[in-house]
A and B are shown apart, each in its own frame.
Chain A
C-alpha cells in the first residue's frame, strides 16, 4: 500500500540512530575527529545558509536554497567518497561541498551573481577534496552526465566513482530514466542519490509517482537500490559507503533513496505556507531533525559538550564572515565577460557584437557599421 510520506514520516526504513538520537543499530566505527567533523559540517551549513538568507533578504543575493533539515543526506553520501571522485550536484548539497572544503567565499560569490570568470579571477580556482561538477539548475540533467563519466572511468579501468544528487521531483524527468537505464545496462561506477525531501517546490511526493517508494524504481532498471532514513547520518553514510565500495570494486551502480524533509521553502522565491501546513510540518518532522539527533548522540557519547559546541560555533561565525567579505570583494563582472568561453577563438559575429556592446557602454551608437568593416565614429 502506498503511504505518502510528505505528511507522515515513514516507518521501517534503514536506521542506525533513532529519532531521539539513540543507537538503533551497530555503533559506527569512526574516529572522534571524523565524528566531530561531520557535526561541524552540519553546523557550518546552517551558519552559512542563515547568513546567505539574510543577504537575500537585504537584496544582496538573488536566490538562496537552504538544506535545513536534510543535511545528513548530502553530507553522509558525499563523505563516503574519496579524493578524485566526482559529485554532480544541484542546489541543495551545501553540506557535501563544505565537507570537501569547497571554498565558502566562492559559493557565496556565485549567489551574488558574478560571472564564473570574474569569481575565479578574484578568488582563484576552486580546490576541493573531490571534484565537483558545476551545480546543475535544470533537474535530472546531471544524472546522465554522471553515468557517462562513470562509463568513461569504467572503460579506462579507473576506480573513480561518480555520485549524482537529485530530488524526488527529478525522478519524474526523462533524464532520470535515461540515466538509470544506461546505468543498468552498462553497470558503471555511479551512485545516484535521490534526496526525497517530499516536495518539488509545491508538488508533493504523491504527485511525482504512483510507486510505493522512490527506491523501488531501481528495480525496473536492474539497478541495486536502498531506502534509508535520510535524517540519520550514520545510516546514510553506511549505505553510501556500501554503494561507493560496490562501484569502486567494479560491481556497478546503486540508487539510494534518502527519506528526509524540506523544512523550509524550496528557495527564497517560494512560499510554502500556501501549499502545506507549517504546524503539521513542525509536529511530524522537526523531531527527526538530523542535527539534533546527531548532537544528542555525540553528547551522550561525551564527544561533544557545551565548550566544544560553542568553540565550533564561534569558529564558523568567523569563517562565514570572512567568506562573505571575500565574496563581497569580487567586483561586478565587466559586461563583455558575457562573451567569454562560448567557443575557442573568436567569430566575426562575436567580435562584432562585443564591439557593439562596448560602444553602447561608452555612450556611442553601436549601429553605425554599414559595411561590416568597422564603425563610423
Chain B
C-alpha cells in the first residue's frame, strides 16, 4: 500500500497552453513568473544561488535576476528571516527559503517576534508581504530534522497564513497567491512529492484562493481531512475501502476553512483526519475539536486521527512504519464506518 498514487485535481480545468510538470518544477516556474512579474520580489536563503537550491526549486533564478534579487546568505536561519522582515518593512516582497522545516527552529525568534507580530504591533501600518518557503515532511529517507512536519508550531501563531499544496497545479496557484498576499505566509512544500508525479499545469500565470479548502472527491459516508503528501494516500485508501469517501484537502492550515470542514462532516456524519505530523496537539486535534463542538449531533462515530506517533521522527529502517499511509487511512476509515453508538 506504500505506492504513491497521483491525486486528482478537480480545479484543474486547463484552457490554453499547458505543460506536464512535477511539484518542484511548478514551484520553480512560479518563482520565475513572480520575479518576472514584480521587481520587488526577492528570494533570500542559502544554497538558492548557483546550485538552485538543494531540491532545485530556485534553479535559474540567480542567472536571470542577479544576486541582489536572489540573495545567497550565510547559514543562519534567524538571520535569513530577520533580514527578510527588514526588507519587507522597506516595501520588498520577500520570499525567504528555509532549506528544511527542521532547520527553522533557530529562526523561530524572528518568526514570533517580528514576522507574525509586526502588523498587529503597528496597528496595521507596517505590512510584511513575505512568503516563507520550507520543504517539509518525511518519506525520503533523509537525516534527522530533515523529515518532520511541525506545521502546528506555525499554525498556532496568530498573524500568519500557513499554506500547503498537494499537487503541481495547487503548488503553482497557491504559491503565486501567497507571494502576492500582503500578509506573511508560511508555504510548506511536501518534498516527498516534489518529484512524485507530474500533471498538466497551465503555462500561464494563475492564482488559487488562500484560506479555502479543496474538495478532492465527493462522498456520502465519511470525510477524510488531510493535506500535503497525505492527499494521495487518502485517495488510494478511499479506492480500497467499501465506503463512499469524501476527501477534503485542507490546503490552508491557518486560517482553517471551517465552513467546508463542517459542511462535509455534517453531510457524511463521519470524520477521519489524516496527517503525518505527531498526533498530540497536532492539527488533527484542532479539527477533531471543531467537529465535536459544532457537529456532534450529526456524528455517527467519533472522529479518528490517522497520524504519525508522538515520537521523534525515526530512522530509515522504520520510517515507513511511523508514517501514515493509505493502509493506516483505510483502517481509520473502516473503524469509523463500523462504529455503532
Contacts and interface: CB of A to CB of B under 8 A. Distances in A.
Contacts of B120: 340-342
B282 interface: no
B184 to A, nearest CB: 9
Nearest to B266: A371
A210 interface: no
A87 to B, nearest CB: 12
Interface stretch (B22-30, B49-57, B85-93): B85-93
Contacts of A174: 78, 106, 109
Nearest to B265: A372
B14 interface: no
B83 A347 contact: no
A148 B83 CA distance: 4
Interface in A329-377: 340-345, 347-350, 352, 369-372
A141 B107 CA distance: 11
Given A138-B109, A145-B83, A175-B110, 15 more contacts: A120-B123, A141-B113, A144-B78, A145-B86, A146-B86, A148-B87, A155-B68, A155-B69, A156-B90, A174-B109, A182-B79, A342-B119, A344-B183, A348-B256, A372-B295
Contact of B74 (A115, A116, A181): A181
B331 interface: no
A116 B85 CA distance: 20
B10 interface: no
A317 interface: no
A156 B40 CA distance: 9
12 contacts: A138-B109, A138-B113, A155-B68, A175-B78, A178-B76, A182-B73, A182-B79, A345-B211, A348-B257, A352-B258, A371-B262, A372-B294
A152 interface: yes
B196 interface: no
B117 to A, nearest CB: 9
A85 B159 CA distance: 27
Contact of A117 (B82, B123, B294): B123
Quick one: which of B42, B82, B122 has the most chain A CB within 10 A?
A: B82
A144 B123 contact: no
Given A342-B159, A371-B294, A144 B119 contact: no
A147 interface: yes
B82 A179 contact: yes
Nearest to A144: B82
B297 interface: yes
Given A120-B123, A182-B73, A348-B258, A342 B158 contact: yes
Contacts of B293: 369-370, 372
Given A125-B125, A341-B120, A371 B295 contact: yes
Contacts of B79: 144, 175, 178-179, 181-182
Given A145-B89, A372-B262, A182 B76 contact: yes
Contacts of B4: none
Interface of A: 115-117, 119-120, 125, 133-134, 136, 138, 141, 143-153, 155-156, 162, 174-175, 178-179, 181-182, 185-186, 340-345, 347-350, 352, 369-372
B90 to A, nearest CB: 4
Given A155-B42, A175-B110, A348-B256, A149 B89 contact: yes
B2 to A, nearest CB: 35
Interface in B125-157: 125-126
Interface of B: 42, 68-69, 71, 73-74, 76, 78-79, 81-92, 106, 109-110, 113-114, 118-126, 158-161, 181-183, 211, 255-259, 262, 266, 290, 293-297
B128 to A, nearest CB: 10
A222 to B, nearest CB: 12
A182 B255 CA distance: 33
A253 B68 CA distance: 17
B89 A348 contact: no
A342 B109 CA distance: 18
Contacts of B81: 144
A56 to B, nearest CB: 22
A160 to B, nearest CB: 8
Contact of A148 (B82, B106, B119, B295): B82
Given A369-B294, A371-B295, A151 B78 contact: no
A33 to B, nearest CB: 32
A178 B82 contact: yes
Contacts of B181: 344
Contacts of B69: 155
Contact of A144 (B110, B126, B159, B182): B110
Quick one: which of B42, B87, B297 has the most chain A CB within 10 A?
A: B87
B106 to A, nearest CB: 7
Contacts of A143: 82
B198 to A, nearest CB: 33
Given A148-B86, A341-B123, A350 B294 contact: no
A153 B87 CA distance: 8
Nearest to B84: A148
A116 B82 contact: no
Nearest to B69: A155
A243 to B, nearest CB: 18
Contacts of A125: 125
Nearest to B298: A371
Contacts of B257: 348
A372 B293 CA distance: 8
B109 A141 contact: yes
B89 A133 contact: yes
Contacts of B294: 369-372
